[in-house]
Amino acid sequence: MNARLARAITRLYPPAWRERYGEEFAAMLELGPGDLGTVVDSLGAAVREHIFPTRGGNMERDPNSFGAMMRRPSAYLPVAMSLTSLVVVLSAVGYGVSQAGHVVRDADEGAVAHIFQILMTVQWPITLFFLVKWLRRNPGQTLRVFAVQAAAWLAGLAPVYFLHL
């Protein structure tokens, strides 16, 4: 089918449907025959989609997009744990500075140190699970999410390293 006609037919579908299926649908129309039956079938389906729209599931987003991947618990939990660790450590440092006027370094490992250690290590099996589950299915976005997880982990580690805590 003519590419312009394929795009024109695709534009007749509701925006939410186009957002999710438009690209692949237009590609399929372009590769197929541009006969009357195909046009009528596609127009009929567009009308049906307006009257009885497909809802729920993955309609609102591409399940393989970066955003959708980041919304998976095994993707965002390690990031959340790293950021929580960062906040806990910086809060403790800020409290120490406000009380003593300088960064306080405890000789003994206190509660903050234990929280830091738990948050920074418990996330490893979660990240490993994420990589094992998704790397083969969606390598590009999986590596991007992993880069975010690694950056968050390094950010969590940064105050300990730079302030010699």
Partner 1 sequence: MCDIYVMRSTRDEVQDENGVGLGHYSDPPLLVLASLASGSKHGHAMIDDIARLCGTRLGPGTLYGAIARLEQQGWIEPLPPEERRRPYRITAEGLRVLRAKLTTLHQFASAGLGRLEPL
Q: Is 140 in the site for partner 1 (CB under 8 A)?
A: yes
Q: Cβ-count burial of 142 within 10 angstroms (0-12 exposed, 13-18 middle, 19+ buried)?
A: buried
> Residue 2 has which token pair?
């003519």
Per-residue mark of binding to partner 1, 25-54 (x: CB under 8 A):
xxxxx-xx----xx-xxxxxxx-xx----x
- Residues binding partner 1: number (CB under 8 A): 35
Q: Is 93 in the site for partner 1 (CB under 8 A)?
A: no
Q: Considering only 86-94, 109-117, 137-145, 150-158, which stretch makes contact with partner 1 by CB under 8 A?
A: 137-145
Between 94 and 139, CB nearer to partner 1: 139
Query: Which residue, among 71, 73, 79, 74, has the nearest Cα to 125 in the 3D structure?
Result: 74
Per CB under 8 A, 94 contacts partner 1: no
138 near partner 1, judged by CB under 8 A: yes
Hey, what are 55's tokens? 């809802």
Q: Is 55 in the site for partner 1 (CB under 8 A)?
A: yes
Q: Which of 59, 83, 88, 126 binds partner 1 (CB under 8 A)?
A: 59
Contact between 2 and partner 1 (CB under 8 A)?
A: no
On the CB side of 29, CA atoms within 13 Å amount to: 26
Nearer to partner 1, 11 or 114 (CB): 11
Q: Which residues contact 42 (CB under 8 A, 6 or more apart)?
A: 9, 29
User: Residues with Cβ < 8 Å from 51, sequence gap 6 or more?
Assistant: none
In the chain, the N- to C-terminal Cα span, in Å, equals 66
In the complex, the residues that contact partner 1 under the rule CB under 8 A are 17, 20-21, 23-29, 31-32, 37-38, 40-46, 48-49, 54-59, 62-64, 137-138, 140
